[in-house]
Amino acid sequence: MNTVVQIPAAELRRKQPRFQGMTAGHRACLGCGEALAARLVTEAAGPDVMIANATGCLEIFTTPWPESAWRIPWLHSLFENTGAIAAGMEAAMKAQHKSTKVLAFGGDGGTFDIGFQALSGMLERGHNVLYVCYDNEAYMNTGIQRSSSTPHAAMTTTSPPGKERMGKRHLKKDMLSIVSAHHIPYAATSSVAYPSDIRQKVRRAMAIEGPTFLQIHCPCPLGWGHEGDESIEIARLAVKTGLFPLIELERGGLTGVMPIRDPVPVVEYLKRQNRFRHLFADDLRAKQELEHIQAIADHNIEIYDLSGHGESTYDTDGMSIVRRGGMRRA
Ligand SMILES: Cc1ncc(C[n+]2csc(CCOP(=O)(O)OP(=O)(O)O)c2C)c(N)n1
Ligand code: SF4
């Protein structure tokens, strides 16, 4: 018989985060990566913030009128203008001599595609805003259309596999490099599979005066085609294969990576998701696409030096302390 371990209430409270900007009771799907990521981001950012949130799943499932899951000032912006709205909010805070930090939230469709112009302007003008992109790799809220963040060969409703092509024809846009080319002080990627990495990067960005950017990989069980309870494992596989490297860039230069201890073959990640199902068909094109995707992962591992070196204090197994130069410390 299993013994139930009782944790004293006081200890439990100590272990609980002190502040939750987004509460339970929202209407996200079971296992939604965005819901978890937004909770972690707002926990780490603390109460003295306000948010401009682009249209998309996060905006919709947290604010079914007349209810709201937010405990912080929150504004629904359009797809197109989230960067501009956040810049205006920041200017208003500055004019009132307030230190409240402005956060901007958008999905990959709202960030990589439709809101990109306003985001670029906000970064270029140097507004003191932390922009968080919840990257679930498609326009999920309107029924899974491909975005420029959708990975190569993935199936969406607008990139169906067939005679002409094996899912999405184009590559995932390298948003972090584009954002960093604005010479901003800090830009990073993170993943819901690594909550402490998200918290650490949010705190780092919050401490910087100026524009900062965080792209968080967020599985979407509905759009990716997996069970809700698999989200974290699948997000972790994206990092451990090298397909979604966790990196930090300061003023355009690479300053931190989370090393991968033992890279996992990409098929282990792809085979868990229905959006890549066609790549496992008995078809020469499928085999070639699998090789192509493995080459993308290998390229990431090489260019970001992900196998054993890096500034992160832990690797993808969360085990050892690894410093640039490859020295492992117990
Ligand atoms: C200019 C404009 N085009 C299209 C829409 C319709 N629309 C609402 S939500 C959405 C999908 C959002 O995708 P994304 O930004 O990736 O966020 P997700 O829902 O995946 O979190 C779309 C296309 C809109 N609201 N405004
Ligand atoms: S469709 Fe995807 S992103 Fe939207 S709430 Fe459901 S799991 Fe989350």
Instruction: Give a yes or no: residue 6 inside a domain.
Output: no
Beta strands (DSSP E) in 83-164 are 101-107, 129-135
pLDDT tens-digit readout, 38-85: 999 999 999 999 999 999 999 999 999 899 999 999 999 999 999 999
Instruction: Give a yes or no: residue 62 inside a domain.
Output: yes
Q: Is 132 in the pocket of ligand 1 (CB under 6 A)?
A: no
Instruction: Give a yes or no: residue 244 inside a domain.
Output: yes
Total count of domains within the chain:
1
Instruction: Give a yes or no: residue 3 inside a domain.
Output: no
Q: Residue 323 sits in which domain range?
A: 21-329
Instruction: Give a yes or no: residue 12 inside a domain.
Output: no
CB atoms within 10 A of CB 28: 19
Q: Work out the pLDDT band at 301, boundaries 50, 70, 90.
A: very high
pLDDT above 90: percentage of residues in the chain: 85
Measured by CA distance, the residue closest to atom 3 of ligand 2 is: 220
Spell out the residues 6+ positions from residue 217 whose beta carbon is closer than 8 angstroms to its own: 33, 135, 189, 190, 191, 192, 193, 235, 238, 239, 244
Q: Is 140 in the pocket of ligand 2 (CB under 6 A)?
A: yes
Instruction: Give a yes or no: residue 273 inside a domain.
Output: yes
Instruction: Give a yes or no: residue 54 inside a domain.
Output: yes
Measured by CA distance, the residue closest to atom 8 of ligand 2 is: 32
pTM for this predicted structure? 0.93
Residue 195 phi/psi, 5-degree rounding, is -55, -40
Q: Is 150 in the pocket of ligand 1 (CB under 6 A)?
A: no
Instruction: Give a yes or no: residue 7 inside a domain.
Output: no
pLDDT exceeds cutoff 90 at 288: yes
CATH number at residue 257: 3.40.50.970
